[in-house]
Structure 1
Amino acid sequence: MTAVRVLGVVAGPEPGGRTATAVAGVLAGAQEVGATTSLRELSQFGAEAVIVAFGEADAVVFGSPVYRATYSALLKDLLERTERGKWGEATAPLQGRVAATVLTGASGHHYLALGHLRDVLAGFFAVQVLSPGLYLDHGGYADRTTLTDQSAELAAAHGAALTDLAAAVRSSAALQAITPQI
């Protein structure tokens, strides 16, 4: 069996920010257990290139800073452009995939935004979403590009768990066949 392929998607307005650092931590954990990984920052690649990359991945790590108690407009735009195979759409690139959610914010006050993103991915796209999601505020970083040891361990654990979940879904025709209801 081929290695699980994990795509990290960062939906921050600038490349290389705290969200990219957190997503990279999850990808590092996936690599530690044998997954192959790649990272795409929407600010550099654009939505269409990321949608194509969905089709080549078994799992996707969706990362976004939190603005006004929700994930970024860049991530909303990406999800709005992603077809679900419904209502005449020709593709469903997230069908049969798994996802992890990584949100970052200035304080813990926006932690609950993880639930909204999970609900959109699971309910609207029928993606199997690793729970709980990962939320890091400024206290999770030693500096802008370095996670604290505790945050790095937590991110790596999410990456390993996501890889296990992706392998389970990949081996189940029933889980891969689940589609959005509407």
Structure 2
Amino acid sequence: MNVVGISGGPDAGGRTSTAVAAVLAGAGSAGATTRLIELGGADVADVVAAIDAADAVVFGSPVYRATYSALLKTLLEATERGRWGETTQPLQGTAAATVLTGASGHHFLAANDLRNVLAGFFAVQVLAPGLYFDHSAYVDRSTLADDGAALAAAHGAALVDLAAAVRGSAALSALVPQV
């Protein structure tokens, strides 16, 4: 089982990377091989290739102006869906988890937007509920408090289970975007 974590924050090692790494730690404890990719400075084609090779993906982003980051939007816009002449669909039949971070709890509904794009537009099986951590969930920039770390680890383990279920089901793996 190969799980890739994508951190859509502009700063390496920021709160979003910390949260995605905590989900990956839970996936690793469940037996998965994990890799964290920080989008700031990453080559989009290389990231899409990593997604294509993954059994599951953790999408993380800080919330800016009530939505996920432009870096993550750029990645998703560069990811084909196998429609309208596109030749690849790296996310189709993949399991995913979402983790968003923000300054306060006021922006937690941004997680719904990301989930809807992944599930509806890309036919991804998205682990629900998604995670949202505000600043109160951290001890410092690179450390989640115990409750948040435990919750992120549980999501990572659940993502491994979901990915195994999706990969083991011809019906789930075959679902495609409707439009």
1:17 corresponds to: 14
1:6 deviation in Å?
0.4
Residue 128 of structure 2 aligns to a residue whose secondary structure is: coil
Residues 38-47 or 137-146, more deviating: 38-47
Mapped to 2, the partners of 1:139 and 1:46 lie a distance apart of 32
Mapped to 2, the partners of 1:46 and 1:140 lie a distance apart of 30
Name the amino acid aligned to 1:112.
L
Normalised to the residue count of structure 2, the TM-score between the two structures is 0.99
**Structure 2 stretches of 5 or more lacking a match?**
none
Mapped to 2, the partners of 1:71 and 1:52 lie a distance apart of 21
Mapped to 1, the partners of 2:34 and 2:50 lie a distance apart of 11
Match of 2:52 among 51, 55, 69: 55
2:81 corresponds to: 84
Query: Percent same amino acid at aligned positions?
Result: 69
1:145 corresponds to: 142
Name the amino acid aligned to 1:152.
A
Mapped to 2, the partners of 1:118 and 1:55 lie a distance apart of 19
1:158 corresponds to: 155
Name the amino acid aligned to 1:10.
S
* Residue correspondence of structure 1 range 1-182 to structure 2 within 5 A: 4-182=1-179
Contact 1:11 1:65 in 2 (8 A): yes
Name the amino acid aligned to 1:9.
I
Can you list the C-alpha shifts for 1:78-123, whole angstroms capped at 9, x where unaligned? 0011000000001000011011000000000000000010000000
1:46 deviation in Å?
2.5
Name the amino acid aligned to 1:131.
A
Residue 44 of structure 1 aligns to a residue whose secondary structure is: coil
1:44 deviation in Å?
3.0
Residue 12 of structure 1 aligns to a residue whose secondary structure is: coil
Residue 66 of structure 1 aligns to a residue whose secondary structure is: strand
Contact 1:15 1:44 in 2 (8 A): no
Name the amino acid aligned to 2:82.
G
Structure 1 segments (4+ residues) deviating >2 Å:
none
Mapped to 2, the partners of 1:62 and 1:47 lie a distance apart of 14
Mapped to 1, the partners of 2:159 and 2:146 lie a distance apart of 20
Contact 1:8 1:40 in 2 (8 A): yes
**Structure 1 stretches of 5 or more lacking a match?**
none
Normalised to the residue count of structure 1, the TM-score between the two structures is 0.97
